[in-house]
Each structure stands twice: as structure tokens, then as C-alpha cells.
């Protein structure tokens, strides 16, 4: 009886779709990390400005990064393919980092390109991990 009860509880918990929910939060927090840590570090390494000033300049984009990257995380989880996940979040990172850098610093070409490359690399690895770890498992029919 306890085994049946445990099976029932696990089936109800898994019915709330934990994988997509976790993928949305992981993607969103990765976008937050992009604007609060990755891009300011890259901008300071290039020598354009210091870390603190870059964080202040990019702080207004954190909410938008969270939303865009949350959608990207969900799409990676839905595709459940490592290549598709890397492509989806890689392009999300490339575009969001380039747009945020352009809005914060104008069209300073060096900063724009370096931020876009950092966003591409960060998103590629993040999408790869989300798609592999949280992708929907396809049921294989046994003959």
C-alpha cells in the first residue's frame, strides 16, 4: 500500500511539469547573470569602464534579460536537443548582449563586438546544459 501511495504522490508531483518550470528559472537567472556579472566583467577587461560603473549602466536591462532568457530556457527544454539548445540560447545571448551594450554605450564597436561574443559563448554553453539536463525524455516503444 505504501508503494502505491508513493507512486501516486510522485506521479502527481511530476504532473506539475517541473522540467519546464526549472528551465524557465534557469534561463531567466542566466540572463540576470549576463547583465550583472558577465557583461560588466567583459567591459572592464576591455578597459572601457570599471566593473561597478558597468553594472550600474546595465542594471536597467536585468528585467528584460530575465524575461528573454527565460523564454530561451523554455524553448531549449522543449526542443530537448543539445545542438538546438546551444543555438537557441547562443543566439539569445548574442542578440541580448549586443542590444544591451548598444543601448548602454552607443555604438562603440569594440565594446559591442566583445559583448556580443561573450553573450554568444555564455548562451551556447547555457543552452547546451539546459537542453541536456532538462529536455523532455522521449518514450521509446519496446517491441
Q: Please enumerate in sequence order all residues whose Cβ is within 8 A of that of 88, keeping only pairs 6 or more positions apart, or say none.
A: 72, 75, 76, 79, 127
Q: How confident is the model at residue 55 (pLDDT cuts 50, 70, 90)?
A: very high
Residue 72 has pLDDT above 80, yes or no: yes
Residue 140 has pLDDT above 50, yes or no: no
Percent of the chain with pLDDT over 70: 92
Residue that has been written with the C-alpha cell 547555457 in this structure: 126
Q: How far is CA 3 from the centre of its chain?
A: 38
pLDDT at 143: 47
Q: Please enumerate in sequence order all residues whose Cβ is within 8 A of that of 120, keeping only pairs 6 or more positions apart, or say none.
A: 90, 91, 93, 94, 97
pLDDT at 16: 65
Q: Is the pTM of this model over 0.85?
A: no
Residue 59 has pLDDT above 70, yes or no: yes
Amino acid at each position: 500500500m505504501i508503494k502505491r501511495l508513493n507512486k501516486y504522490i510522485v506521479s502527481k508531483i511530476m504532473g506539475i511539469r517541473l522540467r519546464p518550470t526549472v528551465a524557465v528559472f534557469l534561463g531567466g537567472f542566466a540572463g540576470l547573470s549576463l547583465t550583472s556579472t558577465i557583461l560588466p566583467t567583459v567591459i572592464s577587461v576591455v578597459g572601457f569602464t570599471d566593473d561597478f560603473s558597468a553594472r550600474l549602466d546595465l542594471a536597467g536591462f536585468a528585467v528584460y534579460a530575465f524575461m528573454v532568457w527565460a523564454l530561451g530556457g523554455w524553448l531549449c527544454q522543449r526542443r530537448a536537443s543539445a545542438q538546438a539548445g546551444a543555438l537557441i540560447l547562443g543566439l539569445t545571448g548574442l542578440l541580448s548582449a549586443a542590444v544591451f551594450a548598444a543601448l548602454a554605450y552607443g555604438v562603440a564597436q569594440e565594446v559591442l563586438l566583445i559583448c556580443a561574443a561573450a553573450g554568444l559563448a555564455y548562451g551556447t554553453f547555457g543552452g547546451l546544459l539546459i537542453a541536456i539536463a532538462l529536455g523532455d525524455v522521449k518514450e521509446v516503444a519496446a517491441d
